[in-house]
Amino acid sequence: MEMAKEAEGGKTVEGGKTVEECQSMIQKSLRTPMVKFLRGRMEKAGCGVGENFFKAIHCDQNVGGGYAPGDGVVVCSNHMKIQDEVNQVVIHALIHAYDDCRANIDWTNCAHLACSKIRANHLSGDCHYKREFLRGNLKIRGHEQECVKRRVMQELKPHFTETAARDAMEAVWETCYNDTQPFDRAP
3-state DSSP assignment of residue 65: strand
Query: Global pTM?
Result: 0.87
Residue 105 CB coordination number (10 Å): 16
pLDDT at 127: 85
pLDDT at 126: 83
Evaluate if residue 164 carries a pLDDT over 90.
yes
- Angle at the Cα of 85 (from 169 to 42), degrees rounded to 5? 65
Residue 13 — pLDDT band, cuts 50, 70, 90?
Answer: very low
pLDDT in tens, 166-176: 999 999 999 99
Higher pLDDT, 132 or 180: 180
Give per-residue pLDDT as tens, 51-66.
799 999 999 988 999 9
